[in-house]
């Protein structure tokens, strides 16, 4: 059975996207180490997280996510070493969570190894990208084929089923990255994520719970 993941009245209609404009105006998004602003870009109404040092997150109030599907649009930028954008889930606090994020500046790298760092799974605080890449090279990150444009909006779908996390990009029916979670945490909060020195834009968030 599949149903829209609704925890509070914030998400009023099953099967629809989260109304980010409404969530912001009603102060139902908690930010950590970032400032959040509303943005309008064509048909998209979303949020922007500014650039700053350290990790930054915009947590959605009232959401407890376990298994299911997270879909959203995200836009970083083609700035070497300064654009890391994605989603945090199974969060316990501002320092303990899993995340899937993009490195847009790696999308079009000619070098295959560098390009293979386009998409990343991490689990803070212990399993940073450095820790995972050092101990398990190539296991928790991947290239994206076909590669998006680095400055473009990218559609991301993340399917969480117990310990398995599969990430699909731009409607591709094959996942770009499939990993097993490195911790036994089964549920937690959810929010938009940017890593050290980076900001980003987010829109069209849909959360679906699967049984």
Q: What is the pLDDT of residues 131-145, one digit of tens each?
A: 999 999 999 999 999
pLDDT in tens, 112-165: 999 999 999 999 999 999 999 999 999 999 999 999 999 999 999 999 999 999
Residue 180: burial class (beta carbons within 10 Å; 0-12, 13-18, 19+): exposed
What lies within 8 Å, CB to CB, of 117 at 6+ separation is: 103, 106, 141, 143
Which segments of the chain are extended strands (E)? 2-4, 29-32, 36-41, 44-49, 56-60, 68-75, 85-93, 96-102, 119-124, 141-142, 154-161, 164-169, 177-180, 189-194, 200-210
Contact between 49 and 194 under an 8 Å Cβ cutoff? The reply is yes
Inform me whether the pLDDT recorded for 6 exceeds 80.
Answer: no
Superfamily of domain 2-210: Exo-inulinase; domain 1 (2.60.120.560)
* CA 73/CA 157 separation, integer angstroms: 9
Inform me whether the pLDDT recorded for 15 exceeds 70.
Answer: no
- Give the global pTM: 0.93
| Model confidence band, residue 210 (pLDDT cutoffs 50, 70, 90) | confident
């Amino acid at each position: 059975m599949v149903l829209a993941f609704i925890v509070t009245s914030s998400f009023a209609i099953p099967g629809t996207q989260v109304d980010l404009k409404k969530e912001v105006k009603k102060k139902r998004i908690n930010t950590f180490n970032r400032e959040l602003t509303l943005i309008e870009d064509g048909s998209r109404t979303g949020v922007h997280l500014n650039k700053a040092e350290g990790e930054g997150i915009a947590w959605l109030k009232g959401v407890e996510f376990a298994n299911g599907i997270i879909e959203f649009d995200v836009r970083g930028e083609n700035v070497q070493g300064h654009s890391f954008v994605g989603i945090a889930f199974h969060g316990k606090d501002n320092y303990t969570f899993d995340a899937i994020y993009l490195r847009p500046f790696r999308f079009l790298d000619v070098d295959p190894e560098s390009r293979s760092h386009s998409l990343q799974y991490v689990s803070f605080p212990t399993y940073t990208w450095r820790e995972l890449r050092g101990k398990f090279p190539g296991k928790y990150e991947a290239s994206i084929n076909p590669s998006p444009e680095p400055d473009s909006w990218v559609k991301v779908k993340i399917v969480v089923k117990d310990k398995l996390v599969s990430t699909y990009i731009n409607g591709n029916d094959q996942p770009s990255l499939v990993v097993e979670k490195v911790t036994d945490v089964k549920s937690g909060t959810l929010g938009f994520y940017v890593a050290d020195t980076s900001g980003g834009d987010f829109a069209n968030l849909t959360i679906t719970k699967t049984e």
